[in-house]
């Protein structure tokens, strides 16, 4: 068994957007999306790591920060973001 850890690097914008998405997904019926019980372990680990790394998620201006991060990421995605919206 290889217990080598994997490091994933995210920008602060990517981290806040992913954290928000994971939180919303965890509050829904995840069993429809996550059909493999073993997938829960990494999902919870990633969500917990993001929560610890992003103290701003509890700030009063969190919604504004999240919206700004979403806009910046959409801008960097160019036509791909437009295709996903349509």
Write out pLDDT tens, residues 16-42: 999 999 888 888 776 677 888 898 889
Q: What is the pLDDT of residue 7?
A: 92
Helix (H, G, I), strand (E, B) or coil at 59: coil
Could you tell me the sign of the dihedral formed by the alpha carbons of 84, 44, 31, 36, in that order? positive
Whether residue 86 is predicted with pLDDT greater than 70 in this model: the reply is no
Measured between alpha carbons, how far is 14 from 27 in angstroms, rounded to an integer?
Answer: 20
CA torsion angle 11 36 30 2 (round to 10)? -30
């Amino acid at each position: 068994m290889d217990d080598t850890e994997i490091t994933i690097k995210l920008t602060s914008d990517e981290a806040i957007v992913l954290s928000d998405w994971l939180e919303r997904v965890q509050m829904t019926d995840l069993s429809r999306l996550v059909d493999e019980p073993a997938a829960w372990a990494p999902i919870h680990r990633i969500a917990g790591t993001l929560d610890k790394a992003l103290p701003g998620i509890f700030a009063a201006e969190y919604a504004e920060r999240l919206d700004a991060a979403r806009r910046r990421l959409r801008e960097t995605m160019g036509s791909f973001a437009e295709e996903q919206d349509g």
